Amino acid sequence: MSTPSSAASSDVLILGSGLAGLVCALHLADRRRVTIVTKGALLEGSSAWAQGGIAAAMAREDSVGAHIDDTRVAGAGLCRPEVVERIATRAPAVIRWLQTQGVVFTAEPGRDGALHLGREGGHSARRIVHVADSTGRAVQETLEQRILRHPNITVLEQRVAIDLVCSGARGGERRVHGAYVLDRRSGEVETLDASSVILATGGLGKVYLYTTNPDVSTGDGVAIAWRAGCRVANLEFIQFHPTCLYHAEAKSFLISEALRGEGGRLVLADGTRFMPAHDARAELAPRDIVARAIDFEMKTRGLDCVWLDMTHHSREFIEEHFPTIDARCRELGIDMARRPIPVVPAAHYSCGGVVTDAQARTDIGGLYAVGEVACTGLHGANRLASNSLLECLVMGEAAAADILASDPPPRPALPAWDHSRVTPARESVLVAHDWDAIRRLMWDLVGIVRSDERLALAARRLEALHAEIASYYARHRIDNDLLELRNVAEVARLIVRGAQQRRESRGLHYNRDVPETLAEAVDTVLTP
């Protein structure tokens, strides 16, 4: 990968290398010089972990209208109709675009190349285009090869963005000109200038103690945008995936919703199904309902986990449809063809984020947000399964088109990073302690089921931690752990603020002190 000098220029700077970032880069690179900054290696983001697939109305018996309806039902009244319509309508076209890029989706046997379409919770039809049970990785690896071969794309690995460089007053005309970026290996800060900056930094699952997200998902983009002056919205809507593998050696391993789509049953230790008692759709209910049902059963019965039973399928079926999950389970001594899989809910996806319009533009000129970091209005109060990769594809295309619609403006010279007034940290235990405290606090007090008392306690503790971290940051030389802690503390406060402002229960946000859903659905928008 390329290594820049202390100051480097490009037309477009993309922070993040998940599907959203790669799609933006490929749509831009024939006409713009693009730099991708990635926190780890090119394939370490959440997109590569996506097992299920991409939702698209491709079947003859399906329709775009049905996809729109399912998305809006899951979103519990908070979806933006024009965004949902645009993304669902573009879905078949972006699937075909991926095929032109070299992605080979799983085909339906004996149907002359027709795609095999899976079904997941909340969908009224089979419409999940997939590559076995590792769609995200297959798509990422295919696009990665095109990225690495393109002469106009530079990839900078092992870098983490610190803050944006902007001009103009907050609340007025404000424009981004680049970012300060820390090289995680050398500890040096680089100044990267660009005419446009795209936040494609992914999610914030590491704010919680238990998550399906990779370690890099620390809410960096939301925190960076907030500090720069962008509004954020709906961060109280954290999707807890119902089924994360419960095993001491299985760190953050997701058990795809697609298993329930193929008849997987959630059961207690004695084999009794419990989902029909919670929802008429049983295991195919939307994720928030399934996660709350599991949480209820575990807390009521004092269980460490519940079980997902696939034993009604043959070993051949499981090996064909779920090879990745099957292989990981068998590594841990679990033969899912013979016994159920132990599962628990875990923080999985943020439906809120940086406020954008339909072209992915934020409140700051030249700054775009694409993917999980953004709040476009597609997901509303609860994301429909397999709409996340779809959003990356359509909104990545939209952001690139908006950038290409005008010539890059002139760029000012940017000041170098100044760390002359800070000292190296002497005790990393302070950072580690605060990091652990925030994640445990969020899991215990701001989890699947919330209350006014828990949220008030979380807010008080987070304010104290935030002040402590801000003081520490101002006095010490930065490193990766301190930057991630700073961002996690910022995002945790924003989640709690959003949860306290929402005086109802809707979608993924359930507060037992206000269990009813109000007649009018209103976004929770926070302004710096």
CATH topology of domain 7-236+351-404: FAD/NAD(P)-binding domain (3.50.50)
**CATH top-level class of 243-345:** alpha beta
**Residue 435, C-beta contacts closer than 8 angstroms, at least 6 positions apart:** 481, 484, 485, 488
Report the pLDDT averaged over residues 492-508: 97
Q: Is the whole model's pTM more than 0.85, yes or no?
A: yes
Of 200, 180, 184, nearest to 47 by C-alpha is 200
Residue located via tokens 């953050």: 252
Buried b (16+ CB within 10 A) or exposed e, 24-47: bbbbbbeebbbbbbbbbebbbbbb
Integer Cα distance of 18 and 140 in angstroms: 7
| Residue 109 or 379, more confident | 379
SS3 310: coil
Contact 375, 233 (CB under 8 A): yes
Check residue 5 and give its pLDDT.
Answer: 41
User: Residues 385-422: pLDDT tens digits?
Assistant: 899 999 999 999 999 999 999 998 888 889 999 887 88
Q: What is the pLDDT of residues 227-238, one digit of tens each?
A: 999 999 999 999
Express each pLDDT in 250-265 by its tens digit.
Answer: 777 889 888 998 999 9
Please list the alpha-helical segments (H only) found in 191-269. Answer: 220-228, 258-261
Once rounded to an integer, what is the mean pLDDT over residues 490-494?
98
Of 237, 235, 233, 238, nearest to 525 by C-alpha is: 233
- Strands 238-245, 367-369: pairing is unpaired
pLDDT category, 3, cuts 50, 70, 90?
A: very low
Decide if pLDDT at 292 tops 80.
yes
User: Where do runs of H (alpha helix) occur along 40-105?
Assistant: 64-74, 81-101
Which tokens belong to 331? Answer: 């590594």
What is the reported pLDDT for 122?
86
User: H or E stretch including 177?
Assistant: strand 175-183
Label the pairing between strands 34-37 and 153-156.
parallel
Burial (0-12, 13-18, 19+ Cβ within 10 Å), 237: buried
pLDDT-derived band at 331, boundaries 50, 70, 90: very high
Lookup: tokens for 12: 């477009």
Residue at token pair 């990225």: 147
- Going from N- to C-terminal start, the domains of the chain cover 7-236+351-404, 243-345, 429-513
Average pLDDT over residues 43-57: 72
* Structure-token match 């109280």, residue found: 236
Distance CA 409, CA 376 (A): 26
Please write down the long-range contacts of 67-74, taking CB distance under 8 Å and 24 or more positions apart.
67/91, 67/127, 69/124, 70/122, 70/123, 70/124, 70/384, 71/378, 71/379, 71/384, 71/387, 72/380, 73/122, 74/122, 74/286, 74/379, 74/380, 74/382, 74/383, 74/384, 74/507
**Tell me, what's the pLDDT at 62?**
96
> For the domain 429-513, what is the CATH code?
1.20.58.100
Q: For residue 50, is pLDDT > 80? A: no
Q: How many CB atoms lie within 10 A of CB 382?
A: 25
Mean pLDDT of 77-81: 97
| Active site members | 287
- If you average pLDDT over every residue of the chain, what do you get? 92
Region 87-104 average pLDDT? 96
Instruction: List beta partners, residue 186.
Output: none
Provide the CB-side half-sphere exposure for 133 (13 A, CA). Answer: 23
- Do the beta carbons of residue 515 and residue 526 sit within 8 Å? no
Q: What is the DSSP string of 138-157?
A: HHHHHHHHHHHH-TTEEEE-
**For helices 135-149 and 19-28, what crossing angle results, to 10°?**
30
With a CB cutoff of 8 Å and minimum separation 6, the contacts of 488 are 204, 206, 207, 218, 219, 435, 438, 439
